[in-house]
């Protein structure tokens, strides 16, 4: 019933505070679910699961577009920023899972296009290896088109502390806590929630070795033999001293949404409780 669904959503919101969870996009249908019509339920940070992803009429421009309409109704274009999104490739046709990784895609849409559009982090497609398209190389490329992708653009150190300027070049944020670390020394700033295209300064109270090979991403949610990779084709420089810029120095800088940022360009920022405009 709708009343039970409401209670269940509220219960999960209470106990699943550190574990990402998702619900079917069918919860957007107000005939069967109370979610879309309830602003408090919509404010809960749940993700979305689409169990017929990329089927023939998935998109509004390709037929009835039921799936895309559901994504729009319950996702509102921003749910992916706080709730993990994924699903399963369609079984509407027995060939969908076998061929969705074709360079030409399915029904006029490529996997990379759809993964970016819906900010996909995970996808089930157990029949994919049977189609002859999903080689290990293609699987890897397809996987790299999902989720986060951390790139270190700057590295500064004074021999005792290190600062990294990190951006997310993926299609979705990381939904669990993870920290840049040097050896066993972690940064206090998590990578969780760093959105695509955003940058974040990471401070680590330690210095890297000569080649930076002891810089890593530490996460308590992966197995000991696993690692989170990142790109860093750069050279370390000395930590910069504060300039006379009104927003540089030791104070943390935020955008108007309250998100901690690194700022170099024009805009309005908040630092030390004050709004600062750079023109």
Strands 185-190 and 199-204, bridge-based pairing: unpaired
141 Cβ neighbours under 8 A, 6+ residues apart = none
Distance CA 202, CA 212 (A): 15
Return the percentage of the chain with pLDDT > 90, whole number: 79
Query: From CA 222, how far away is CA 227, in angstroms rounded?
Result: 7
Percent of the chain with pLDDT over 70: 86
pLDDT value for 256: 43
pTM value?
0.83
pLDDT tens-digit map of 214-259: 999 999 999 999 999 999 987 778 776 554 444 445 556 554 444 4
Candidate from 9-18, 22-31, 173-182, 243-252 with smallest mean pLDDT = 243-252
Nearest in space to 206 (alpha carbons), one of 136, 155, 172, 277: 155
pLDDT (0 to 100) of residue 210: 83
Q: What is the number of H-type helices and E-type strands within the chain?
A: 6, 13
Structural contact between residues 130 and 89, judged by C-beta atoms closer than 8 angstroms: no
In this structure, what are the phi and psi dihedrals at residue 188, rounded to the nearest 5 degrees? -80, -10
DSSP 224: T
129, HSE (Cβ side, Cα atoms, 13 Å)? 4
Q: Which residue has the higher pLDDT, 150 or 279?
A: 150
CA 18 from centre of chain: 16
∠ CA 187-189-195, nearest 5°, is 135
Closest alpha carbon to 245 in 273, 214, 271: 271
How many residues does this entry show for the chain? 279
Domain coordinates in residue numbering, the chain: 2-144, 150-240, 242-279
How many alpha carbons fall within 13 Å on the CB side of residue 275?
5
């Amino acid at each position: 019933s709708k009343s039970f669904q409401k209670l269940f959503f509220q219960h999960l919101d209470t106990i699943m505070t550190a574990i990402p969870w998702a619900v079917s996009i069918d919860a957007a249908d107000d005939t069967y679910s109370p979610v879309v019509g309830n602003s408090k339920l919509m404010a809960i940070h749940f993700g979305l699961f689409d169990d017929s992803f990329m089927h023939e009429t998935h998109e509004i421009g390709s037929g009835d577009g039921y799936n895309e309409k559901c994504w729009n109704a319950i996702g509102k274009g921003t749910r992916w920023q706080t709730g993990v999104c994924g699903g399963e490739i369609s079984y509407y046709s027995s060939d969908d899972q076998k061929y969705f990784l074709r360079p030409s895609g399915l029904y006029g849409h490529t996997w990379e296009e759809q993964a970016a559009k819906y900010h996909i982090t995970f996808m089930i497609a157990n029949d994919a290896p049977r189609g002859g398209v999903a080689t290990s190389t293609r699987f890897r490329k397809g996987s790299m088109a999902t989720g986060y992708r951390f790139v270190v653009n700057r590295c500064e150190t004074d021999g005792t502390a290190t600062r990294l300027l990190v951006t997310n070049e993926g299609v979705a944020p990381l939904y669990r806590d993870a920290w840049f670390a040097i050896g066993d020394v972690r940064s206090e700033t998590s990578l969780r929630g760093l959105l695509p295209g955003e940058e974040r300064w990471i401070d680590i109270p330690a210095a890297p070795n000569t080649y930076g090979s002891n810089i890593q991403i530490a996460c308590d949610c992966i197995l000991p033999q696993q690692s989170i990779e990142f790109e860093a084709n750069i050279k370390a420089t000395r930590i910069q001293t504060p300039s006379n810029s009104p927003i540089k120095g030791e104070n943390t800088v935020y955008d108007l949404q309250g998100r901690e940022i690194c700022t170099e360009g024009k805009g309005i920022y908040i630092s030390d409780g004050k709004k600062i405009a750079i023109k």
